[in-house]
Structure 1
């Protein structure tokens, strides 16, 4: 029944037209008619949505009878729509009614779909408050024009960079301010915490600025992905640090091994002074433990490591060994001369070319210098006593569970103790 109210008359006319359409067998329409009808109903759908959203924007009174919080809550209860969808529509209704008149007009005419209107309105609402009014107006007009060509997904990307399109100088300045704000916040929230699990491992939880994280990952990716000169992955497993040729381990594990290797190669002489001297790690163990490789060593931070691990660290890391006699009296305090110098490493790289473990071809640049005769047992830091081993095989060389033989060509062959 017609009441004379224009909005209700519109609804009744639409309903009557749809009743007529129900009597049509769409299957008999020609392809041209079907395509034309699909386009027209898409435009009509947008126009109907636009009318409904206009009503939502001014329908606060409907909430009073039932005491609903807002129109979205009323729609959720009365129209049985999801809460998130109702709130999204209410937000869009307010944006079209109060802020974006060009977009609203395009939506009412059906030139812009509801999904497109939602994306465009959100992009415009996200513009910085200090954006000049004329730039905002140009951005709105441009995005509405783009709606004739681009779907919502593409419009979302364009909306995120609209300032770069319509006003590059403004966009660059806004980007600079945004990045500076994010960087300041990142520095305020930077933190590092550790938690020992009591099983020989510690969890390190760290939050750092993006640039720092990118830098760290660049270093770790270098450690985990050595490449041969022919471009092929070395070692059968992308040359993972801390793993052997052909060993399959997860990439997070390889990154963890790479992080350990990175720390071991830090030169304490280049770190800030601590207690008046260079920041160094001192490992203390008695003479018998040092000779046998069996037992426990103590670090100056109070931690404990196996003697074999201590001996491995002394090969290439800037670790000072403090060897004690029977009465815990210092017998020798190791010096940095036990480490191979740069020119020696270069010569060793040229000589060996890669890890000297049988079957391993990790490039020399990713290997560590190993004393064939341990330095603490009288071995010399010279080329004749040095050999290149990847991190994995260097661990094996100092692992009491493994033995190794030196072949006539100088390579090392490892095998498990029986």
Structure 2
């Protein structure tokens, strides 16, 4: 992807971190993977998966900010997701999906923190926020909190598909008196 401008020592900490991460990744671009032991390979795969979640968390944080500030307006884009898609060559559908999650994470701090820590993956974060947001308006905040917390704990053991199944019946677990009604 092309750079959007030149960087200085006065960059925002987020831009400085992105630049540093990019430099670190370039430094190992040609490192031979064949020299990793099996244990190192397993460790690298797990930690890289966590790293992708962490990087995506930062991307979504900036995307939510971009959406709030309507950064695409200056160029005539109809939405932030359209502007983002045009400048990164991702599909508009993917950009819109990311913006939706970015905005949802702003109202689901524990999910945002879990993603930032690499404790949940992006698809799992989608599932948790979607499941909690799909609860009826009559559901009390404490029940929503229990549902979110249950799903976050379950994310340590289940992939997004299995988590989605649990999310559909979450009231049966955290508030059976409501779920069975």
TM-score norm. by structure 2 comes to 0.91
**Per-residue deviation at 1:102?**
0.8
CA–CA distance in structure 1, aligned partners of residues 84 and 22 of structure 2: 21
Residue in 1 that maps onto 2:166: 158
Matches within 5 A, 1:2-401: 2-4=8-10, 5-59=12-66, 60-97=69-106, 99-173=107-181
Higher helix share: 2
CA–CA distance in structure 1, aligned partners of residues 177 and 163 of structure 2: 21
**Per-residue deviation at 1:82?**
1.2
Aligned residue pairs, count: 172
**Per-residue deviation at 1:2?**
4.1
Q: Is the 8 A contact 2:82 2:95 kept in 1?
A: yes
The unaligned stretches of length 5 or more in structure 2 are 1-6
Q: Is the 8 A contact 2:131 2:164 kept in 1?
A: yes
CA–CA distance in structure 2, aligned partners of residues 39 and 2 of structure 1: 33
Deviations 1:274-311 (A, max 9, x none): xxxxxxxxxxxxxxxxxxxxxxxxxxxxxxxxxxxxxx
CA–CA distance in structure 1, aligned partners of residues 88 and 28 of structure 2: 25
CA–CA distance in structure 2, aligned partners of residues 42 and 79 of structure 1: 22
CA–CA distance in structure 1, aligned partners of residues 103 and 74 of structure 2: 22
CA–CA distance in structure 1, aligned partners of residues 110 and 61 of structure 2: 14
**Per-residue deviation at 1:125?**
1.1
CA–CA distance in structure 1, aligned partners of residues 146 and 9 of structure 2: 42
Deviations 1:128-169 (A, max 9, x none): 011011000011111011111000100110000011011100
CA–CA distance in structure 1, aligned partners of residues 167 and 25 of structure 2: 36
Higher strand share: 1
Q: Is the 8 A contact 1:2 1:8 kept in 2?
A: no
Q: Is the 8 A contact 2:70 2:79 kept in 1?
A: no
Runs of 4+ in structure 1 deviating by more than 6 angstroms, as ranges, are none
The unaligned stretches of length 5 or more in structure 1 are 174-418
**Per-residue deviation at 1:64?**
2.1
Deviations 1:354-384 (A, max 9, x none): xxxxxxxxxxxxxxxxxxxxxxxxxxxxxxx
CA–CA distance in structure 2, aligned partners of residues 45 and 2 of structure 1: 26
CA–CA distance in structure 2, aligned partners of residues 116 and 10 of structure 1: 25
CA–CA distance in structure 2, aligned partners of residues 85 and 12 of structure 1: 24
Q: CA RMSD in A?
A: 1.1
TM-score norm. by structure 1 comes to 0.40
CA–CA distance in structure 1, aligned partners of residues 27 and 87 of structure 2: 28
Q: Secondary structure at the match of 1:65?
A: helix
Select the structure with the greater relative contact order (CA < 8 A; seq sep ≥ 6): 2
Q: Secondary structure at the match of 2:28?
A: helix
